[in-house]
Amino acid sequence: MDDEVLMSAKALLTYARFVLLFALMVIVLGAYVRLSDAGLGCPDWPGCYGNLVVPQSGADVQQAEASFPQRPLQADKAWKEMLHRYAAATLGLLILLLAIMTWRSPQPAARRNRGLVVGLLLLVMFQAMLGMWTVTLLVKPAIVTLHLLFGFTTAALLFWLSLRLSAQADVQGHSSRLYPLAWVVLLVVVMQVLLGGWTSTNYAALACNAFPGCYQGDGWPAMNFSEAFTLWRGLGVDYEFGVLDASARAAIHMTHRIGAVFVLLFTATLGGLMLRHCRRRQSRQMAAIMLFLLAVQLLLGMTNVLASLPLGIAVAHNGVAVLLLLSVIGSVFLLKRDLS
């Protein structure tokens, strides 16, 4: 590989990692908007009360509130929502540039990933539609949860792209015996992400205020699972602050906790086996990172319950969730290359 191609390869990898970091920032910002109840800070899309910026002057505010009398302007929430939209739009442009760079790069690894970056472009466009539906369908839990899931998927694909660009060649030979288990762990973590999103979007994070039981002295409260996991309730329902009763919210909350037990068992098993059996230092380091993030995530989850969902801790719980997902994806990638 000549110097020019080598420099192109390094530049593309550096840029892909930058886009990944920006995507993680957008995910955390989105979590902050959702958890601070600012998801409907602007009742329309893509603008805010018909403007590209939040109305500021008295006349603009009056006109905005006249256009949306059911949604009086709350400037702090509106700005949170618009900052997230600006950041998400910027991410879309960054991914578009990444696709162009990848498509035009002479690097062999870039050519192998052209399909992946096209998929990323399509995904980010679908994410924009989900962002619109989040507002127009009044934070419907199914839509908001999908928006969260595909935000995590965007970061996951960017991380996978970075891993593939950093590899010297395609994976060859036999994969580790732990490789199938890594895929199982990935599935378990993705299911837990979905449960976490469903918990948040149904305002069920505070349905239980004790640990390990739901209420003090009541390990298993009355729970309505049929209502808890009804995915679609028709159109025109305002889901802000939730529509479920206490028994349905408790069912969601406790299911998310049970999911955390499965994540703990499967992820800890994979991490321990990787530390013991993997020959390559990079694989052992990824296992250590995964186990550390798992411990932090469990601690944040318990703190959310016992401290009544502090905003900073709740946002961190979302941020560490995506990092834990990426560490499992990194393990999948490395175990494909690590003979054990």
Tens of pLDDT, residues 262-309: 999 999 999 999 999 998 899 999 999 999 999 999 999 999 999 999
Contacts of 267 (CB under 8 A, 6+ apart): 185, 188, 189, 290, 291, 294, 324, 328
pLDDT in tens, 107-159: 888 889 999 999 999 999 999 999 999 999 999 999 999 999 999 999 999 99
Residue 340 has pLDDT above 50, yes or no: no
Q: 319 near 21, Cβ under 8 Å?
A: no
| Cβ-proximal residues to 107 (8 Å cutoff; 6+ apart), any chain | 5, 8, 9, 12, 165
Question: The pTM is what?
Answer: 0.94
Candidates 47, 57, 59, 54; CA nearest to 79 is 54
> In this structure, how many other beta carbons lie within 10 angstroms of the beta carbon of residue 13?
19
What's the token pair of residue 72?
Answer: 């009086």
User: Could you report the per-residue pLDDT of 4-21, keeping only the tens digit for each?
Assistant: 555 578 889 999 999 999
Q: What is the pLDDT of residue 7?
A: 56
User: Minimal CA–CA distance to 337: which of 115, 157, 112, 169?
Assistant: 169
Kindly state the average pLDDT of the residues 87-92: 98
Residues 263 and 28: their CA atoms lie apart, in Å, by: 21
Is the C-alpha dihedral spanning 270, 272, 277, 279 positive or negative? positive
Determine which one of 4, 81, 227, 240 is catalytic. 81
pLDDT of residue 151: 97
Confirm whether 81 is a catalytic residue.
yes
Provide the mean pLDDT of the chain. 92
What pLDDT does residue 8 have? Answer: 75
Q: Cβ(139)–Cβ(40) under 8 Å?
A: yes
